[in-house]
Amino acid sequence: MYTQVSESISQNGHGTAQPIPTSTPLQSRSSVPDPQVIQKPTRRRFSTAEKIRILKLADACQKPGELGELLRREGLYSSSIASFRKQQAEGKFHQKSTEQVVAQRKHKEADRQKEARKLQAMQKEIQQLRGLLDLQKKLSDLLALHLPDNSSE
């Protein structure tokens, strides 16, 4: 075990050496956090109300350093403020009604279901084609015909 020596000064002014135990490399491994990586972290998403609130606070900053303080407090970069301002200038901060949101979700879900049906039909067709190929191979074996093998290409 490794030890460090610590000198402490007693009341009479003389130093005394005292060993301080330290952990060995094997002992320190048990205190190391688990290196397993968690899934990719999700990005922060700001609602329209949050973006408007942050822009109002940013516009209210007059003194030097106030904007930097706001950015640190909110955990943002100046580029975020710039993109919020760009979105506001493009008119992307209008509120959608609940009917619009519901209609949009229904439309997306209908598209997903349509694509799933297409995929299922294609997979069924692939299975049929594979069956036909197997049948063709068996027939050629029965008739002693030799078909060129295209799988090696």
Domain boundaries, the chain: 48-89, 96-147
Q: What is the DSSP letter of 17?
A: E
Residues in the chain: 153
Span 45-53, average pLDDT: 90
Binning pLDDT at 50, 70 and 90, where does residue 35 land?
Answer: confident
pTM of the model: 0.41
**Of the ranges 30-34, 53-57, 145-149, which is most confident?**
53-57
Binning pLDDT at 50, 70 and 90, where does residue 140 land?
Answer: confident
| pLDDT for 26 | 52
pLDDT at 72 over 90: yes
| pLDDT for 94 | 77
Cα–Cα dist 129/131, whole Å: 5
Q: Is 76 exposed, middle or buried (0-12, 13-18, 19+ CB in 10 A)?
A: middle
Percent of the chain with pLDDT over 90: 46
| pLDDT for 1 | 46
Contact 2, 24 (CB under 8 A): yes
| pLDDT for 100 | 84
